[in-house]
Structure 1
């Protein structure tokens, strides 16, 4: 006997299969909903619940990956856009900037003209390298003895040019680990309390995991299983752990707040001792 849950899964699986096979035709929401005999509203809600992203976003990722493959093969921008089912280079540009944070031209030119400014700063948890692209934080990596900041940066962003320019990114560093108390009553306080601009790129699954980490309040902890449930994939705790381990922006995307369900702290990309120090530091701040 087929349960409602199984039937719903079959409907969404059928829609994903159709979208994966026909994304270059840019099927509409109505077309996908009709394919599985659902209203557009009901289909949109169910698809998002089961896949973790909207049908539109799912199709955008498929389109972008295909366009990137064409650009890597040397196709002109216009041809890559047309072959991907887009109406022109404008739509391809919007897709790249929205998801990748760079233009298709910069991707095609392997980063020519794309400058990553960086600096090395101190924190309560040791030195770290902070990298920015277009005034957005693209990387925060804590440094251990022997680490080469340039190697770390080029591994994360191989297509960019590097510029060691601490003064250009100092203002952002001052907001991450402020060395003095901030008067939140004045204009400066309002400016500093705005969310920091972050530039992320990764798979759809990684982005969902990193977004879930941002919802863990300071001073609180979550397990890998809880994060997996939060993104709608309760059996994917192992994959969640892999995504957390590849987090490129330490502290700001608080992967240090995730522990094992047994209560053990578990590993940490930048060292277990540093993770313990962060959690203790945050607990003290919350208690105050």
Structure 2
């Protein structure tokens, strides 16, 4: 997102320029060359007195500067570019991919390729590859038709040590093969008496944060949903989580305005799923988006179905508001915890139906 030039603090952006911060959202022009660049450009650093700052390429153009041929500050990303990189990374799952290779694939510099990939996917290309391998390993182990060592190599890991290093499983592969045995999850429930047909709320949490937030018809059904989702975990009632439940109920009663930011989340999934779940949290209360709109905003307009699947696998209702995504016609479509509950949540938030 570009920013207004009037909001730029020159001391701050100068420090970002000196640090070559590739994530900084401004452009700079050099009066002695007449060229404007991104802050992460690899060109020779300018002198402070020769530097001007701009919020958009159009602002720099209006001031008489021309675009740098090295960092290409006006370069826009084709919607298919990220999809191309994803497909390539998935084909090369068993080997590291250099940024230069990705840049050549889509006709961009290596650093630009990484920047646009991370903006769209919420992860670097290497992190995306690790998540794909971890997901493949997860599926292999869940099927239960192979041993740990075979699953590790079939998932694309070059060695067993690589699977244990920085694995996103949240536990060692052996423990995951055992169905997550040893994982400790506490829970608390409460009735949502002021929220119409929402019924009972259950919050399940690991030591890292909320991993399960579901809606059910009874406290028994709520607890059963948690145990079904995590069948081999060590699950026990935790009265200290009543405060978290109260926070969720307060958010619902307030129409979604309170974001419950003090509740840490333990969201586990692929890089793509995590990116979708993050995008869901950015939809303001009282607003809805279609699955296709969400996919387009993520830079992947052809991934509508994948976005819908990621929404359907969300384990944390309300706090990760998948109820704010609707069909292209505005219809409520499916909802993991029931369409009527989805309708009630949107009504409480004042969303137009």
Q: What is the TM-score normalised by the length of structure 1? A: 0.72
Following the alignment from structure 1 to structure 2, what is the Cα–Cα distance between the partners of residues 265 and 21? 36
Task: Show CA shifts across 1:117-151 (max 9, x none).
Answer: 12221223321222111251111110126963344
Instruction: Determine if contact 1:66/1:84 at 8 Å carries over to the other structure.
Output: no
The answer to whether residue 176 in structure 2 is matched with residue 107 in structure 1 is yes
Could you tell me how far 1:33 is from its partner in structure 2? 4.3
CA contact (8 A) 2:120 2:298 kept: no
Secondary structure of the corresponding residue to residue 209 of structure 1? helix
Name the residue aligned to 2:345: 278
Contact 2:185 2:233 in 1 (8 A): yes
How far apart in 2 are the matches of 1:263 and 1:197? 31
Relative to structure 1, is the Cα distance of residues 132 and 141 closer, same or farther in structure 2, using a 3 angstrom cutoff?
A: same
Cα RMSD (Å) of the superposition?
4.0
For structure 1, which segment, 4-13 or 146-155, has the greater mean C-alpha deviation from structure 2 after superposition?
4-13
What is the CA-CA distance between 1:39 and the residue it aligns to?
Answer: 3.0
Tell me, yes or no, if structure 1 residue 25 matches structure 2 residue 95.
yes
1:57 is the counterpart of 2:127: yes
Contact persistence 1:117–1:168 (CA under 8 A): no
Pairing partner for 1:172 from 217, 233, 244: 244
Structure 1 residue aligned with 2:265: 198
Residues 160, 55 of structure 1: alpha-carbon distance in 2 compared, 3 angstrom cutoff? same
**Counterpart-to-counterpart distance in 1, 2:82 and 2:204:** 43
Q: Secondary structure at the match of 1:235?
A: coil
d(CA) in 2 for partners of 1:36, 1:227:
23
In the aligned structure 2, how far is the partner of 1:211 from the partner of 1:50?
11
Q: Where does 1:186-265 land on structure 2 (aligned, <5 Å)?
A: 194-265=261-332
The whole-number CA distance in structure 1 between the counterparts of 2:83 and 2:187 is 44
Shift of 1:193: 5.8
- Are residues 282 and 212 of structure 1, via their aligned partners in 2, closer, same or farther at CA, if it must alter by over 3 Å? same
Q: What is the 5 A alignment of 1:69-108?
A: 73-75=146-148, 84-85=157-158, 89=161, 92-93=163-164, 95-96=166-167, 99-108=168-177
Equivalence for 1:268: 335
Unaligned runs of 5+ in 2: 1-74, 254-258
Partner of 1:149: 222
Conservation of the 8 A alpha-carbon contact between 1:12 and 1:50: no
> Hey, what does 1:138 align to over in structure 2?
211
Q: Quick check: 1:128 aligned with 2:209?
A: no
Uncovered stretches (5+) of structure 1, i.e. residues with no partner? 182-191
Q: 1:260 to 1:9 in 2, by over 3 A?
A: closer
**What SS is found at the alignment partner of 1:153?**
helix
Structure 1 75/29 Cα, relative in aligned 2: closer, same or farther at 3 Å? same
- In 1, Cα distance between the equivalents of 2:182 and 2:301? 42
**Residue of structure 1 in register with 2:235 after alignment:** 162
> Which whole-Å CA distance do the structure 1 matches of 2:91 and 2:305 have between them?
29
Q: How many matched pairs?
A: 263
